[in-house]
Homo-oligomer: A and B are copies of this chain.
Amino acid sequence: MPRLYDLELSGNCYKVRLLCALLKVPLEIVPVDFLAGEHKKSPLIGINPFGEIPIFADGDLVLRDSQAILVYVARKWGSEAWLPSDAAALARVVQWLMVAENEIARGPNDARLHDKFGIELDIGAAREKSVRILGILEQHLATTNWLAMDRPTIADIACMPYVALAREGGLKLDPYPAVEAWIARIKALPGFIGMPGISPDGRTT
């Protein structure tokens, strides 16, 4: 059974739990004491020199970075639907994985790190980047149901958590109805699970 070094409150850990739940992949959850910095100490720092979670282990394979883990899980246990292998379709999905790694991480994720966890960072810049990416998402999702394809892919799973948690970073989603409808569509997927701050029943908390 694959193993996830996990923090319940991490949106990056959650996206791995969510994809595994949707694909019915059993997962051994190993809670990491984040506040004590367990991920920055031995033995975890030896497994992942970046000092971050999630870490995903499947047999001898150890992976870091939530987006890369989604790629692995989708390719190994999912169908072509969740991560297409055709050049154009694959690149379209990867574009949005990069948005999760960059614009969403430096926007709503950073704003939440500041507000909820007291991490010191430039909250003004994080809010500004959040508004920018939420506007781009709203514009994009006004004309399509899913980010990358005509069906849900790991692009949606990668991008949704920190957007749905934006309120915990002092941001409002009300001005973004297409984004809210997209989150609701993801919540309606069979097997969907929530996390603290992302209710599985469609409520916002």
Interface residues of A (CB under 8 A from B): 49-50, 61, 63-65, 67-69, 71-72, 75-76, 85-88, 90-92, 94-95, 97-99, 101-103, 105-106, 122, 136, 139-140
Contact = CB atoms under 8 A, between A and B. Distances in A.
A86 B85 CA distance: 10
Copies of this polypeptide in the complex: 2
B50 A69 contact: no
A87 B2 CA distance: 14
Q: Give the 7 A-B residue pairs with the shortest CB-CB distance, closest first.
A: A72-B91, A75-B87, A76-B87, A68-B95, A68-B94, A65-B98, A101-B101
A75 B91 contact: yes
B72 A90 contact: yes
A98 B95 contact: no
Contacts of A87: 71-72, 75-76
Nearest to A50: B136
Given A50-B103, A50-B136, A65-B99, 18 more contacts: A49-B136, A49-B139, A63-B91, A65-B94, A67-B94, A68-B92, A68-B98, A71-B87, A71-B90, A71-B94, A72-B87, A72-B88, A76-B87, A85-B85, A94-B94, A94-B97, A101-B102, A122-B122
Contacts of A95: 63-65, 68
Nearest to A60: B88
Nearest to A91: B72
Contacts of A139: 49
A66 to B, nearest CB: 9
A180 B71 CA distance: 30
